[in-house]
Amino acid sequence: MSKPLILVSNDDGITSSGIRKLIELMSTLGEVVVVAPDKPQSGMGHAITVGDTLRLVKSDLFGDILAYECSGTPADCIKLAKREVLKDRKVDLVVSGINHGSNTSISVLYSGTMSAAIEGAIEGGPAIGFSLCDFSADADFSHVDEYVLKITRNVLEHGLPTGIALNVNFPPKQNENLKGIKICRQANARWEEEFDKRIDPHGRNYYWMVGNFINHDKGEDNDEWAISDNYVSVVPCQFDLTGYHAIATLNEQWDI
């Protein structure tokens, strides 16, 4: 049987240690092709490049693995990979990451890592975004191998419902082993921002965005709870943002 074709991307950039780890693991499961940003693209969400050119440059960072660095966003990377690099070839799986930092809860909306995965789902195939809840530059990824492979094998074997991408988050490395995997919902948590206002040498105002992540969720079935209890969290995500529960309410209440 032919090996599955696995497309790898991320938002931390093609030189990050997280993508190198993911490529190493995916190479044991199938044929890997890499298209990743040429610079960090964290927090870009699902942005695409429409007012500038896009460039693809072949990279030899990963030996014999076909790899390109892209001047665009993570979503751009998947679009270019499908249309220009792989053309008519069927991609069996899109994987993104492994991100340096958490993408739990509301962060999925801002995440370039998850946007690459969701773009894969928009294209009609299964997709997974992997993140490690450790923002340090020398984050230890050594405890995630078993779970990345287990989750990926399950997706390759069983597929995913149409339009679904998995948001997978790993707790940071601790002295105790990970407890296992929890299929979760997204926690009711969000960033509460503040802006540090400053003045530049020309007397003009500028701002640094700061703030805190506040978890309002007391449940034990969400991704924030799973991470805090040393489980790997897996949240199925969809790109259809329709608030279906509100349709009937609006039709009843609005005079239209």
Could you list the residues known to form a binding site for a divalent metal cation, using ranges: 11-12, 42, 99
How many residues does this entry show for the chain?
Answer: 256
The answer to whether 128 touches 155, Cβ cutoff 8 Å, is yes
The helix/strand/coil state of 96 is strand
Residue 222 carries which DSSP code?
B
What are 42's two structure tokens? 């964290």
Cα–Cα distance for residue pair 243/254, rounded to 1 Å: 16
For 60-66, the CB contacts below 8 A with 24+ separation are 61/14, 61/15, 62/20, 62/23, 62/32, 62/34, 65/23, 65/27, 65/32, 65/33, 65/34, 66/32, 66/33, 66/34
Asked if 234 and 127 count as a contact pair (C-beta separation under 8 A), the reply is no
Between helix 17-26 and helix 145-158 the angle, nearest 10°, is 50
Cα 180 to Cα 30, 132, 144, 187, distances in angstroms = 24, 15, 11, 19
State the Cα–Cα distance between residues 191 and 234, nearest whole angstrom.
21
Tokens found for residue 188: 């009711």
- Residue numbering of the annotated binding site: 11-12, 42, 99
